[in-house]
Structure 1
Amino acid sequence: MTALLLVRRVPPARLELTRTTARQWDAALAGDATVQWWELVDPAADDAAPPAALAALRPDPVTVRLAGVATPPGQRDRAVQVVVALIDALRATSALTLEALPSAELSAILRDAGFLPAGDGRAVLEL
């Protein structure tokens, strides 16, 4: 049986675990101290259990910027899953748009999650 995975903003008590996990998956993203972390987790798992995937945001009341996604190697499906769950969570906020300046790899993930090209290399999704 597959565990139900939910997205949530990383609680302060899990930030060190998040940073450690992110360093294993994407060292450049993990080194960005300006991002807000969101995690895809099994809500029934122990608090010491690592997330299934991570998303890093630069929040704004209207336009949220996706800085990147971190997953274990070969887990592209988890990257799409965390982005889709994040979109659903952000729809409950005042944000109107989620945008990113994606790399080639992230572009395919965002396209699968419903983002559209917006010029200047950006990809956007209206919430």
Structure 2
Amino acid sequence: MELSRSQAESILNFLVQTGLCKEGNGVFGIGDAHLHLPNESPLVVKHHTNWRMKSIQKMDNRENVELFFTAPMSISEKDFAVIREKLTASIKEIVGVAKDSPAEEVVCLNIDFFKTNF
């Protein structure tokens, strides 16, 4: 996809304004901002879909240091709630680590925990 100079400048200006990028002496780099798309956003489904598609593409060329995990299971409703609570706590902890981490690599963590209704 080819962008015009004005489109690229507009995108870069937005990224700098939101803190996702930094600019210094005409050079752009990764910023310090943390972006969270709320669950109520009309864009959240597309956001999740895009990153899951990226994950599927990456699995063909995965590296040993990366983690891909799938675990269909049969559990009680009570244990579903327990596991969801543990995952939520882990996510909060992970986000805290990521916020304080220097921006050296772009990574993605996808977690889905849902009832299949088979």
TM-score, normalisation: structure 2: 0.32
Larger Rg: 2
Tell me the TM-score normalized by structure 1.
0.30
Higher relative contact order (CA 8 A, sep 6+): 1
Q: Which has the higher helix share?
A: 2
